[in-house]
Amino acid sequence: MEKMGTVACVFFVILTSVFCPYSLALTLDGVTLLEIKSTLNDTRNVLSNWQELDESPCTWTGITCHLGEQRVREINLPYMYLGGIISPSIGKLSRLQRLALHQNGLHGIIPNEITNCTELRALYLRANYFQGGIPSSIGNLSFLNILDLSSNLLKGAIPSTIGGLSHLQLLNLSTNFFSGEIPDIGVLSTFGNNSFIGNSALCGRQVQKPCRTTLGFPVVLPHTESDEAEGKSSPYTKVVIIGAMSLMGLALIVILSFLWIRLLSKKERAVRKYAEVKKRLDPKTSTKLITFHGDLPYTSSVIIEKLESLDEEDVVGSGGFGTVYRMVMNDCGTFAVKRIDKSREGCDQVFERELEILGSIKHINLVNLRGYCRLPTSRLLIYDYLAMGSLDDLLHENTEQVLTWSDRLKIALGSSRGLAYLHHECCPKIVHRDIKSSNILLDENMEPHISDFGLAKLLVDEDAHVTTVVAGTFGYLAPEYLQSGKANEKSDVYSFGVLLLELITGKRPTDPSFVKRGLNVVGWMNTLLKENRLEVVVDKRCIDADVGSLEVLLDVAARCTDANADDRPSMNQVLQILEQEIMSPCPTHIQIILK
Ligand SMILES: Nc1ncnc2c1ncn2[C@@H]1O[C@H](COP(=O)(O)OP(=O)(O)O)[C@@H](O)[C@H]1O
Ligand SMILES: *[C@@H]1O[C@H](CO)[C@@H](O)[C@H](O)[C@H]1NC(C)=O
Ligand SMILES: *[C@@H]1O[C@H](CO)[C@@H](O)[C@H](O)[C@H]1NC(C)=O
Ligand SMILES: *[C@@H]1O[C@H](CO)[C@@H](O)[C@H](O)[C@H]1NC(C)=O
Ligand SMILES: *[C@@H]1O[C@H](CO)[C@@H](O)[C@H](O)[C@H]1NC(C)=O
Ligand SMILES: *[C@@H]1O[C@H](CO)[C@@H](O)[C@H](O)[C@H]1NC(C)=O
Ligand SMILES: [Mg+2]
């Protein structure tokens, strides 16, 4: 039997290699990427999985492909310590929409061939050593939304064709050596001095510096003195200054991270010390109170009395697993108490053992579980109370207070930090299973705290062989989770991507405006990305949204909601992107050495 299997197998291999000899060849885009790799100096070996023997480049580091196609849509390799030049082969990636190579050590010119990538929507080449000018046919990139060439060694005039790029929303040519008059046409007239900082030889209305009088003499302006001083500094001084600043930055970061690590290990020790569990058993009534980490500075009888007195008036909400109450102690300490539905009863011992693990998890972006109480009639979980309530309420119910864009960025960043902690720092790792806006709770400072982690697993019986129960909430669930009922980190990543879209659009994932078009929020976003219509996705109430961070959030959301779980980033990767692109968009080259 086994032999027959082997024979069949060998036969099959021969058959396939005879009849489809090219089926395993790398796609053309893949070949092009290898050409691009060949002119890069990959000092950290980040491109080691760009291999000739692969069939498709879509799983390579930094590469994202179009949905359902093997064509390259994005190259994302910022902060990768890449040296070398950009090969003119880049022009063959005709479906490329995003090229992010910022914060590397690339030099040489920006190849003119790049303008062959006519779908390009975002071009990030910030903080490299590019020389020469802006490619003259840049006007071909009619979809360009974002052009960030700041902090390079570029020179020459600013092509007037940039003015015709009607989608351009972010232009940054700061700290280069551009010269001449900034053309005052088309979109070029919409950008202010912030787009041109540190190019002392530029003049024009946008930088409030007239070029020349009609007689051809330079106009003397009150503030030209400082400009001239800046103008005198040669590229060499610039390099020295940047070098010195980087060194100082490095020193600072080393010190800070040292302190941070110290603090962490101290905290960890503290947690361990408190890992003893305080119990009070009352055999008569089978009432039991467990507090984790000595986190509840009240006597058991005081707490139990309070818990027993909770009633309708104290209810703050209810969800899939039970009702949530607000419990105010006599000293004004406030807690949230979750009463678990009777129907969810399982084995007490298993439940309590698992709870102890959950109770030991402490992180600024996670809701702290302080205790557990078993009363004769119910089971109660005691959590920190978060004053601002859930993100769901703030986004969709509260009409007085509109979440600002910077609040939303903070929420995106904090939530990714909390979830990354559950996935990558906890042992055993914890899959949340129910990431959604009503499980993101906010404190007075709008810092997000993820709630209900680990609960879904505890309360849904995994061993029930009958139809698998899916714990999560419709609209947030990854396709493979819906299909198989099996949750893992990547299904959480999907839900996190949906959460990001909810933050951006201000709409529920199941909003009728998505469904009407026969789509969910993910399909809707993908359609808009394809049509390069970024601007319509953002919540209209969010007047302070900036296109730079919007583009990054959308990009992360798109990658998180990839239909193929393997192609989604890990939460650690998501966190790293958000930290680099949103928290510190200022050049900090040294940052990831410490990762
Ligand atoms: N720790 C807490 N602090 C403040 N409000 C909370 C807390 N936990 C839950 N809530 C509120 O109670 C509601 C119900 O929570 P829950 O039972 O977890 O259901 P769901 O998460 O499905 O909405 C939440 O939407 C939230 O508004
Ligand atoms: C690549 O970079 C390293 C370090 O920056 C340098 O020593 C080496 O010479 C470079 N190699 C090439 C081929 O440029
Ligand atoms: C430009 O793109 C076309 C296809 O869109 C391709 O045939 C051509 O080779 C590309 N040119 C360069 C210089 O890459
Ligand atoms: C790109 O621009 C150049 C000149 O600016 C023009 O000659 C060329 O035809 C354009 N190519 C495409 C594909 O639009
Ligand atoms: C930049 O422009 C703003 C107004 O558009 C002005 O208030 C500010 O002083 C300018 N900054 C510099 C450095 O010129
Ligand atoms: C452009 O970049 C410079 C330096 O990197 C930064 O100070 C400036 O705020 C940026 N301007 C815009 C419009 O993003
Ligand atoms: Mg909840």
Type of residue found at 467: T
With respect to residue 238, please indicate whether it lies within any of the assigned structural domains: no
C-beta of 404 in contact with ligand 5 (< 6 A): no
pLDDT in tens, 148-178: 999 999 999 999 999 999 999 999 999 999 9
Q: Which atom of ligand 6 is nearest to the CA of 126?
A: 5
The active-site residue, picked from 148, 434, 492, 562, is 434
Ligand closest to Cα of 106 equals 2
Distance CA 383, CA 519 (A): 37
In CATH, what number is assigned to the domain containing residue 95?
3.80.10.10
User: Side-chain half-sphere of 548: how many Cα atoms within 13 Å?
Assistant: 18
Q: Band of the pLDDT at 400, cuts 50, 70, 90?
A: confident
Type of residue found at 461: D
Number of domains in the chain: 3
With respect to residue 236, please indicate whether it lies within any of the assigned structural domains: no
Same domain, 28 and 78: yes
Distance CA 360, CA 430 (A): 12
CA angle 331, 334, 337 (to 5 degrees): 130
What is residue 572's predicted lDDT score, i.e. its pLDDT? 96
338 is in an annotated binding site: yes
Residues 478 and 491 sit within 8 Å (Cβ to Cβ)? yes
Which of 548, 551, 556, 594 lies closest to 574 in space, CA to CA?
A: 556
Is residue 267's pLDDT more than 50? no
Where is pLDDT greater, at 301 or 134? 134
With respect to residue 213, please indicate whether it lies within any of the assigned structural domains: no
C-beta of 334 in contact with ligand 2 (< 6 A): no
Same domain, 306 and 433: no
C-beta of 94 in contact with ligand 4 (< 6 A): no
Query: What's the token pair of residue 394?
Result: 């703030």
Is residue 500's pLDDT more than 90? yes
How much distance in Å is there from the Cα of 452 to the middle of ligand 1?
A: 9
Q: Band of the pLDDT at 231, cuts 50, 70, 90?
A: very low
Is residue 119's pLDDT more than 80? yes
Q: Which atom of ligand 6 is nearest to the CA of 197?
A: 3
pLDDT in tens, 414-444: 999 999 999 999 988 999 999 999 999 999 9
Which of 495, 514, 491 lies closest to 564 in space, CA to CA?
A: 491
Q: How many residues does the chain have?
A: 595
With respect to residue 345, please indicate whether it lies within any of the assigned structural domains: yes
Which of 483, 472, 532, 488 lies closest to 117 in space, CA to CA?
A: 532
How much distance in Å is there from the Cα of 141 to the middle of ligand 5?
A: 29
Query: What's the token pair of residue 159?
Result: 């092509």
Q: Write down which residue in 384, 416, 444 finishes a domain.
A: 384
Type of residue found at 114: I
282 labelled catalytic:
no
In CATH, what number is assigned to the domain containing residue 376?
3.30.200.20
Domain that holds residue 7: 2-207
How much distance in Å is there from the Cα of 452 to the middle of ligand 7?
A: 5
Query: What's the token pair of residue 370?
Result: 């302080």
Same domain, 396 and 309: no
Same domain, 379 and 397: no
Ligand closest to Cα of 323 equals 1
C-beta of 434 in contact with ligand 1 (< 6 A): no
Where is pLDDT greater, at 127 or 4? 127
Query: What's the token pair of residue 190?
Result: 């919409």
Same domain, 500 and 576: yes
C-beta of 140 in contact with ligand 4 (< 6 A): yes
Taking residue 34's Cβ as centre, other Cβ atoms within 10 Å add up to 19
With respect to residue 269, please indicate whether it lies within any of the assigned structural domains: no
Residues 60 and 561 sit within 8 Å (Cβ to Cβ)? no
Residues 521 and 505 sit within 8 Å (Cβ to Cβ)? yes
With respect to residue 217, please indicate whether it lies within any of the assigned structural domains: no
Distance CA 397, CA 345 (A): 32
Residues 468 and 484 sit within 8 Å (Cβ to Cβ)? yes
What is residue 569's predicted lDDT score, i.e. its pLDDT? 95
How much distance in Å is there from the Cα of 193 to the middle of ligand 5?
A: 6
C-beta of 194 in contact with ligand 6 (< 6 A): yes
